Chains A and B, each alone.
Chain A
Amino acid sequence: MVLELQKPRPVWQIMFSTHHTDVGYLYLVFGITFLFMGGVLAMIIRTHLFFPGQNVLVSDSATFNRIFTVHGLTMLFLFALPVANGIGNILVPIMVRYKDMAYPKLNAIAFWMNPVGAALLWLGFADTTWVSYAPYSIIRAPGPAADMFIFGMKILGISSILSSINFVVTVLKCKHPDLPLRRVPLFAWSMLTVSLMTIVAMPTYAAALIMMLTDRLGLSGFFNPFAGGDPIAYLHLFWFTFHPEVYIFLLPAIGMMYEIIPRFSRKPLYSQASGVFAFVMLGIIGFASWGHHMYSTGMDFTTKVVFMIGTLAAVPASGMHVFNFLATMWGGRIRFAAPMKFAVGGIALFFSAGAGGVLNSAMPLDFISHGTYWVVGHMHLFLIGTIGFGFVAMIYYMFPYVTGRMYNEKWASAHFVLMFWGTVQTFFTQHLLGLEGMPRRVYDYPTDFTSWTQLNQISTVGAWLIGASFVIFLASLIYYSAKGKPANMDDPWGIGGKYYYPVSAKNPHGGHSGY
Chain B
Amino acid sequence: MGHDTAEWVFVAIVIAVLCYVGVDSWMIQKEVEDVPADAEIIKVTGQQWYWSFEHPNGTKEVNTLHLKVNHAYKFEIYSRDVMHSFNIPDWVVFEDAVPGHTNHAWFAPNEVGTYPIQCREYCGLLHYNMRGSLVVEPNT
List the interface of chain A (C-beta within 8 A of B).
61-62, 65, 127, 129, 133, 135-136, 139-141, 225-226, 230-232, 270-271, 274, 296-298, 301, 304-305, 308-309, 312-313, 315-316, 319-320, 323, 327, 358-359, 361-365, 367-368, 370-372, 436-437, 439-446
Contacts and interface: CB of A to CB of B under 8 A. Distances in A.
Given A274-B7, A301-B29, A62 B24 contact: no
Given A296-B94, A319-B14, A362 B25 contact: yes
Interface of B: 3, 6-7, 10-11, 14-15, 18, 21-22, 24-26, 28-30, 32-33, 48, 81-83, 85, 87, 89-90, 92, 94-96, 98-104, 116, 118-129, 131
A305 B10 contact: no
Contacts of B122: 65, 129, 133, 136, 440-441
A443 B128 contact: yes
Contacts, number: 150
A315 B82 CA distance: 34
A207 B24 CA distance: 38
B29 A298 contact: no
Contacts of A313: 18
User: Closest 8 A-B residue pairs measured CB to CB?
Assistant: A437-B89, A225-B100, A371-B120, A442-B128, A298-B103, A362-B25, A136-B82, A225-B99
Nearest to B77: A298
A492 to B, nearest CB: 31
A276 B129 CA distance: 48
A309 B25 CA distance: 10
A472 B98 CA distance: 46
A232 B18 contact: no
A439 B129 CA distance: 11
B25 A231 contact: no
Contacts of B103: 297-298
A305 B102 CA distance: 21
B96 A226 contact: no
A140 B120 contact: no
Question: Which DSSP category, helix, strand, loop or mixed, fits chain B's interface?
Answer: mixed
Nearest to A439: B120
B18 A358 contact: yes
A61 B98 contact: no
Contacts of A231: 83, 98-100
Contact of B128 (A305, A319, A359, A444): A444
A51 B129 CA distance: 16
A316 B19 CA distance: 11
Contacts of B129: 61, 444
29 contacts: A61-B125, A61-B127, A61-B129, A65-B124, A133-B83, A135-B82, A141-B124, A225-B98, A225-B100, A296-B94, A297-B103, A298-B101, A298-B104, A301-B33, A305-B29, A316-B18, A319-B14, A320-B10, A323-B11, A361-B21, A370-B94, A371-B87, A371-B121, A437-B116, A439-B87, A441-B128, A443-B127, A444-B128, A446-B116
Contact of A296 (B11, B18, B24, B96): B96
Contacts of A440: 120, 122
A298 B21 contact: no
B81 A316 contact: no
A242 to B, nearest CB: 16
B24 A362 contact: yes
Contact of B98 (A141, A297, A362, A443): A297
Contacts of A270: 3
Nearest to A365: B25
Given A315-B18, A316-B15, A319-B14, A135 B25 contact: no
A363 B24 CA distance: 10
A211 to B, nearest CB: 16
A63 B82 CA distance: 20
Nearest to A136: B82
Contacts of B30: 301
Nearest to A319: B14
A286 B113 CA distance: 44
A277 to B, nearest CB: 10
A445 B94 contact: no
Nearest to B104: A298
A69 to B, nearest CB: 9
A452 B6 CA distance: 44
Given A298-B96, A316-B18, A372-B120, A305 B26 contact: yes
